[in-house]
Amino acid sequence: MAWWLANPVVGPLLEFAFMRRALIGCVALALSAAPVGVFLMLRRMSLTGDAMAHAILPGAAIGYLIAGLSLTAMTIGGTVAGLIVAVGSGLVARNTVLREDTSLAAFYLLSLALGVLIVSVRGNSVDLLHVLFGSVLALDDAALQLLGGISAVTLVALTLLFRPLVLDCLDPGFLRSVSRWSPVAHYGFLMLVVINLVAGFHALGTLMAVGIMVLPAATARFWVRRLLPMLFTATGLALLAGLSGLLISYHADWPTSPVIVLSLGACYLVSLLLAPHGLLRHQRTAPPQPQP
């Protein structure tokens, strides 16, 4: 037993309950957020995910004002705020001259500024850091139950909506013309994005939540081309980065959420250079260009 406790990988997980809770939270996030991130990438909505991650902040801040650092209040507030921004930006894009990316950017900038203002004025610096950067090392039973519930709902929903989601990624016009599942797939997927961002918000904070959703998907794209292997690869990368980020932050005494996201970023940069579809391998195997 003493050898296991001295092991730099297993020791912290065996010795400290907060490390085990953090690992369980990271596993729940990886199983749900990473597959959602793959579909987000295929729909060319990765920046939309980033915008919506900031959009949940004012709702969570209002929940904080009402009930303090209450998991339920901040979850409900963040979910409502995210849905308002997603639906509101879509309505503006459909009924005005603005494109959806512009309207979404306007909504999320207002939301981010409002949320930071609320927490800064009515809270303190510790509360603001908790909201922006999360508290993955302080997850309690209620938070783990929330993360596990969101993960289960996401996996079931992705299983049920798999075919419509794939068609919506490839040819949304065709899906609208042949099936009534198009609005279900579209708005159901937005709901999955929002609730997974709320889950990531509780563990990693507003500024880091989208990282565990987008970076594994972008990294997996360098390794595989088929959808199912991409889903499994993204999930595996998120699990690996979650574990390595926890251990690195523990041994180096660094903030955990940024280290987890930086671990994902390191996987991305290595894959960008060395993966079969990365920069170096792609250039080496590219067919010669025709000469004039």
Is residue 115 domain-resident?
yes
Q: Identify whether 266 is part of a domain.
A: yes
The three-state (H, E, C) secondary structure of the chain, written as one string? CHHHHHCCCCHHHHHCHHHHHHHHHHHHHHHHHHHHHHHHHHCCCHHHHHHHHHHCHHHHHHHHHHHCCCHHHHHHHHHHHHHHHHHHHHHHHHHCCCCHHHHHHHHHHHHHHHHHHHHHHHCCHHHHHHHHHCCHHHCCHHHHHHHHHHHHHHHHHHHHCHHHHHHHHHCHHHHHHHCCCHHHHHHHHHHHHHHHHHHHHHHHCHHHHCHHHHHHHHHHHHHCCCHHHHHHHHHHHHHHHHHHHHHHHHHHCCCHHHHHHHHHHHHHHHHHHHCCCCHHHHHHHCCCCCCC
Note the pLDDT of residue 58.
Answer: 81
Question: What pLDDT does residue 283 have?
Answer: 58
- Please report the pLDDT score of residue 3 as a whole number: 57
Q: Is 82 among the domain residues?
A: yes
Residue 145 pLDDT level (bands cut at 50, 70, 90): very high
pLDDT of residue 290: 46
- Please give the pLDDT value at position 33: 93
Task: Tell me how many domains the chain contains.
Answer: 1
The answer to whether position 292 is within a domain reads no
Q: What is the pLDDT of residue 111?
A: 78
Residues 113-136, mean pLDDT to the nearest whole number = 68
Q: For residue 248, what pLDDT band results from cuts at 50, 70 and 90?
A: very high
**Residue 74 has what pLDDT?**
82
Residue 26: domain span: 11-280
Q: Is residue 286 part of a domain?
A: no
Residue 166 belongs to a domain with what CATH number? 1.10.3470.10
In this predicted model, what pLDDT tens digit does every residue of 6-64 receive, in sequence order? 677 777 888 888 899 999 999 999 999 999 999 988 888 777 777 777 778 788 878 87
Distance CA 281, CA 149 (A): 40
In the predicted model, is pLDDT for residue 190 greater than 80? yes
How high is the pLDDT of residue 291? 47
More confident residue, 104 or 62: 62
Interval 173-192 mean pLDDT: 80
Is the pLDDT at 94 greater than 80? The verdict is: no
4 within domain boundaries = no
70 located within any domain? yes
What gap in Å lies between CA 38 and CA 55, rounded to an integer? 21
Between 260 and 280, residue with greater pLDDT: 260
Average pLDDT rounded to a whole number, residues 186-202: 86
Per residue in 234-244, pLDDT (tens digit) is 999 999 999 99
- Amino acid at residue number 146: L
Q: What is the pLDDT of residue 292?
A: 44
The reply to whether 5 falls in a domain is: no
